[in-house]
Chain A
Amino acid sequence: MITLSFFTDLFTESFMQRAFLAGIMLGVLAPLIGSIVIIRRLSFIADTLGHFSLVGISLSLFLSYSLGNEIFADKPLFLGIFFSVVGGLLIEAFRRYYKSYKEISMPIVMSLGTAVSAMFFSLSKKTGSLYNYLFGSILTVTDYYIVVIAVTMVVVILLYLLFFRQIISVSFEEGNAKFLGINLNFFQLIFIIVLSVVVSILLEAAGVLLISSMMIIPVAAAMKVGWSFRSTTIISILFSELSVFLGLWGAYSFNIPSGATIVSVNILILIIIAFAKRARLAAAKKRSKQDALPDSHQGI
């Protein structure tokens, strides 16, 4: 039975354990950063960074092909992270250059990233691997990838806890930063670097085309049921973990790219939440109408 073999392999196969561990950690990281991205209305930025991160991946494959050195081919994540950060800094530079049209920065950086990575992929003669990078392949993650995620997660959570006040107040209202003694430019710089690193790490699991979905959708669903920032964050992590687990099962059982399965579960949760909320509101409306009936009769 498919489901049973998934669970037995989860305990016996090291590749499954790596995928599970990676998924659990990404399930925390993605919505944690995603909520800040949503609050700052930068949802499109993750896609852009993902495309630019692909420059590093494709360059790794190209270097390994042209130099005959497998180091680059084995660990494309490092150049991916490097180029994601470069992409983030480019976005920031363009946002300052086009102050009244900040969103212009995204298509410029995204198209540059896509064009350059297409060239390197083509020159590396490894266009076949492009499929995994576009849609994700969490089942093939290696030990070094787990270490990179773990280190990133510890750093991100530490930054989050240490600078929670600054992160939240600036994210909700940039204009208030000055009165709280927060250096807005420095904050932007650190945020874009952290986001770039997280995006390039998510690339392996979700794929370039679905990175932003993994960050944004669990938070978008949690926003509809959360009653405070804290509750929304916790709920988004729970949704994210659920989608990672079910997505992993789907990817393993049906041999589908993990990005596709994880994001499909995310979307499913979002739809269920939307319908449940609508049904709850309709029921509440009906109840209040019924409660009001006796009074109106009395009035008559």
Chain B
Amino acid sequence: MLIDINNLTFAYGHKVVLHDLSLTIKPGDFVVVSGKNGSGKSTLVKCLLGINAVSNGVIFFNHEDINYFKKWTEIGYVPQKFDDFNYEFPITVSEILSVSKLHKTPEALKLKLLDDMGILENMNDSINSLSGGQIQRVFVVRAMLNHPRLLILDEPTASIDRKNVEYFRKTVNRLHAEGVTIILISHEQMLDELDYTHELHLDPNLEHTYKARPVQPPTEDIA
């Protein structure tokens, strides 16, 4: 999915968080958004998701202004926290994925994604019996289930331990290889292991930089 951001400035009251940010993300790009806490990473995600209102003419998805964009089903999103989700009521991982399907997704794909993320054995477990890291991986699978053209991941590994980050890294790299455009917010030390193509560094002093990554040899698991 082609994303154009033109002179995006966003402020909470008088506090400017993003200033004059312009960039183009081409289909198939894998953009890592880095920066310290409070540098505007999550603010940018909220702008891209239409949660933070922006003026007309600032953000475009496939040349369509975000304020008139309707094809949100082409976007997969994994938030940083799942406070919005009701964990208390019993519902299994399998049931969550079933109600999150947009199309008749083959069962095999669901199983493969669960296996890729190392949670296949938890398929029939109730969500309220899983750890924070397992829940986060369930929601990564949910976001991938509908073949999104754009995947936005807001610090998806925040609750996942080092061992299980490996599952995540392989899956994201594979999706990138399959042509999915990816925007990944991260301030963790896992960037080198990802096949990202561009890095957007958000600076609290509003000196944002966007640059392509020097060409890397493909990682073993993709090759």
Contacts and interface: CB of A to CB of B under 8 A. Distances in A.
Interface of A: 35, 38-41, 164-165, 168-169, 171-176, 178-181, 223, 226-232
Contacts, number: 69
Contact of B96 (A40, A172, A175): A172
A181 B89 CA distance: 24
Contacts of A223: 88-90
Contacts of A39: 86, 89
Interface in B42-59: 49-50
* Interface class of chain A by DSSP: helix
Given A223-B88, A229-B92, A232-B90, A169 B102 contact: no
Contacts of A175: 79, 84
B88 A181 contact: no
A172 B85 contact: yes
Given A165-B101, A227-B92, A172 B73 contact: no
A229 B90 contact: yes
Interface residues of B, number: 28
Contacts of B77: 179
A39 B82 CA distance: 15
A19 B122 CA distance: 45
A232 B50 CA distance: 35
B156 interface: no
Contacts of A178: 49-50, 72
A179 B101 CA distance: 10
12 contacts: A165-B98, A171-B86, A175-B84, A176-B84, A178-B72, A179-B77, A179-B143, A223-B90, A227-B92, A228-B90, A229-B89, A229-B90
B86 A41 contact: yes
Given A179-B73, A180-B73, A231 B99 contact: no
A232 B88 CA distance: 12
B158 interface: no
A236 to B, nearest CB: 11
A39 B76 CA distance: 23
A173 B72 contact: no
Contacts of B49: 178
B105 interface: no
Contacts of A40: 86
Contact of A228 (B85, B92, B146): B92
B100 interface: yes
B161 interface: no
B97 to A, nearest CB: 10
A230 B91 CA distance: 8
Given A181-B73, A228-B126, A174 B90 contact: no
B30 to A, nearest CB: 20
Nearest to B94: A228
Contacts of B95: 168, 228-230
Contacts of B92: 227-229
B90 A181 contact: no
Contact of A176 (B50, B88, B100, B124): B100
A178 B98 CA distance: 17
Contacts of B50: 178
B75 interface: yes
Given A179-B72, A227-B92, A169 B86 contact: no
Interface string B124-168: 101000000000000000010010000000000000000000000
Given A181-B73, A223-B90, A229-B92, 18 more contacts: A38-B89, A165-B100, A165-B101, A168-B95, A168-B99, A172-B86, A172-B91, A172-B96, A176-B84, A178-B49, A179-B72, A179-B73, A179-B75, A180-B102, A227-B126, A228-B124, A229-B89, A232-B89
Contacts of B146: 179
Contacts of B143: 179
